Amino acid sequence: MPVTRHAIVLAGGSGRRLGGVDKPGLVVGGRSLLDVALAAVEHCTDVVVVGPRRAGLPPAVRQASEEPAGTGPVAALAAGLAALPGRARQVLVLAADLPFITSAATAELCTRLDDADTDAAFAVDSGGRLQYLLAAWRGPALAARLTELTPRTNRRMRDLVPAHHVRVALAGVQDCDTPEDLRAARRQLARPPGSADQAR
């Protein structure tokens, strides 16, 4: 029986370290960061984008916003989960600031979640840092943690991490937080395929 899998794409935030730009709308490698994120969750049954209302999204993609707007990723996750239909066995969570993320990487997170007796599988970058906004959750576990964590406004994502989780080392999971990150991603994705340091 196929796994019911939903996705919550976080596309809000002010992008302060990038000068206040709309970070999900930034173009890297010919695609917006939001389009990169949506392509990475193409294997999910239902997808919700949380953040400001956006025109031009695929008709099947739902939209939601945390209330009040701008109150952080935990509040945004709660809004996204509420906008999804029914209950999913798995819920992928990712931010729309990952220029190298792929559907293979998000599928690997889901596979590792299935293989382990745990509540969530979090990506770990090449520097060993846990990526709080790139994870596969068991749907009931995410709902339970959001219920337990109140108030949710302006909470850190690390406050949501369950006691039982696994860390999954993945290539190409670095995000774009600063102008330097953005320039580096654009340089890397402008290189011809097959370059020695091209992200996979």
Tokens 């369950």 correspond to: 162
150 phi, psi to nearest 5 deg:
-130, 145
Tokens 């995410």 correspond to: 142
Cβ atoms within 10 A of the Cβ of 86, count? 9
Residue 58, both tokens: 């695929």
Q: Give the pLDDT of residue 87.
A: 81
Alpha helices in 29-90 (DSSP H): 33-40, 73-83
Task: Give me the mean pLDDT over the 95-100 stretch.
Answer: 95
Average pLDDT over the chain, rounded to an integer: 89
Burial (Cβ within 10 Å: 0-12, 13-18, ≥19) of residue 178: exposed
Q: Give the pLDDT of residue 33.
A: 95
Rounded to whole angstroms, the Cα distance separating 54 from 50 reads 10
Task: Give me the mean pLDDT over the 8-12 stretch.
Answer: 94
Question: Among 4-13, 151-160, 171-180, 188-197, where is mean pLDDT lowest?
Answer: 188-197
Domain-by-domain residue ranges, the chain? 5-190
Task: Give me the mean pLDDT over the 61-85 stretch.
Answer: 92
- pLDDT digits 0-9 by tens, 105-116: 999 999 999 888
Rounded to whole angstroms, the Cα distance separating 6 from 119 reads 15
Band of residue 154 on the pLDDT scale cut at 50, 70, 90: confident
Q: Give the pLDDT of residue 18.
A: 64
CATH superfamily of the 5-190 domain = Spore Coat Polysaccharide Biosynthesis Protein SpsA; Chain A (3.90.550.10)
**What single-letter amino acid sits at 35?**
D
Whether residue 118 is predicted with pLDDT greater than 90 in this model: the reply is yes
Q: How far is CA 172 from CA 105, 108, 125, in A?
A: 8, 13, 8
Query: Would you say 170 and 105 are in contact if contact means Cβ atoms under 8 Å apart?
Result: yes
Rounded percentage of the chain residues whose pLDDT exceeds 90:
68
The DSSP H or E segment spanning 94 is strand 90-95
Rounded to whole angstroms, the Cα distance separating 151 from 186 reads 38
Question: Among 85-89, 148-152, 191-195, where is mean pLDDT lowest?
Answer: 191-195
